[in-house]
Structure 1
Amino acid sequence: MSYSNNVPHKPELVMITGATGGFGSAFARRFAALGSKLVLVGRRTEKLNALRDELKTEVHTVELDIRDRKAIDQAFGSLPTEFAAVETLVNNAGLALGADPAQKSDPDDWETMIDTNDKGLVFATRALLPGMIERGRGHVINIGSTAGSYPYPGGHVYCASKAFVKQFSLALRADLQGTGVRVTNVEPGMCETDFSLVRFKGDTEKAGKVYANTTPLTADDVAEAVFWAATLPPHFNVNRVEIMPTTQAFGPLAIHRSQ
């Protein structure tokens, strides 16, 4: 899929967390094609370096676990001068783990999801907000999910974590009124990446069933939504954008009937 780079606003410096995953690498390629400088944040050095070497733009890599608040503060507070004035933060790091009912789920998985999807996102945002406000411009783009609005069996903590992202984004937008800093929550539905493979801890059969006989979104589709919001004129804020594949929609509420 090819999109035009004739945009009304070019973000000069974009930071992407979870940069080596399906979404993150698609976002990086999309902004690199525009000529934006990038700060790529992730846990896997080899993948970060490979992505950096692929992209035809200036790139700084940061290896850290987004769950580590001290590491975020240290790394984001000591960026090289030419990469310090982050204009657009894409809070992409996140995951789902497991799909069992709550009563059968592993609390360690719950903790990982909350620490990554919520705590990591807010700490990364907090680390960069003062600089954005001081410069009078900036954009925080959070990657939420339709799961934050529409719960489903086995979603429990993942759905709740994405509902948190939605409400945090809206409340942050209220806090930042008048600062020149924009906030957007991008909420994708079914999208085929390594998401389900991570969720089912490498079980390819289970992951494959999620997308069987349907046409889900791709990482590039989601990247286009992020790119669109980021490249609108600075006076134009997209609060939320919810996207789904055409093959996905809403269903009736479940009702259990006794025999």
Structure 2
Amino acid sequence: MGSLTRTQRQRAVQFSLYGLFVLLIVLFWVVSDKEAIRANFFLAEGFTETWQDFVFIGAKNTILYTVIAFVGGFVLAMVLVLMKLAPVAPFRWLATAYIELFRGLPALVVILFMAFGVPIAFGWRPPGGPVGAGLVGLMLVSAAYMAETIRAGIEAVPKGQTEAARSLGMNGGWTMATVVMPQALRIVIPPLTNELVILIKDTSLLFVIGMAANEKELTTMARDFMSSGPSAGTATSLTFAALLYLAITLPLTRVVAWLERRQNRSR
């Protein structure tokens, strides 16, 4: 390969990797017990007899919970960002402490704390019962991450934009609301969309709090169908849930990639 150009060597390596991938697929197909795979992961009854529950209850609730958690987390994140940028030091300290705390805690711990710890300690349960408590937990965690993302977007806005606005007589608050924040939000659209994808997957953590039949999201529904229903005793329901998660998240990840390429071109 010493006489090959750099481009030719790269193509040769790529073709070799593709060939290795195809070889591994063929080997897996030859040595695997296809009947056992079908019976455990792709049982036909597990798809045909449960798809309505998965689509119209599980997938619908997963999307609904994601939207609620994202919107609530975004609103709280905006408050945290403004507190962190405030001239009053205690506000900055409080926002920083919140962000560091909830970025350091696993989302599952926060969900359990809101669903069980808070009601036991204070006798107060968030609206919506266990599901509402779980969504509040997701909001608290996602807000911490989104706040840092938005703050980075604000810092990425050229300082000249602020100086130009102030030279026109605009005060600090109006400059932030009409000049800086719109540009910052445009910058952080890709990472915020990525946070939305993470939230879709994090709704699976709600299975630990218990739900009514019409409140189940995809993971809870898959777990329940593993123990009862046409695919009981197999992992078919998990396969179905995984396929639906991919159907929801893959388009969003493609959107993120497209937005990042568009921003790179504009720069």
Q: Which has the higher contact order (CA 8 A, sep 6+)?
A: 2
Larger Rg: 2
TM-score of the pair, normalised by structure 1:
0.28
Bigger share in strand: 1
TM-score of the pair, normalised by structure 2:
0.28
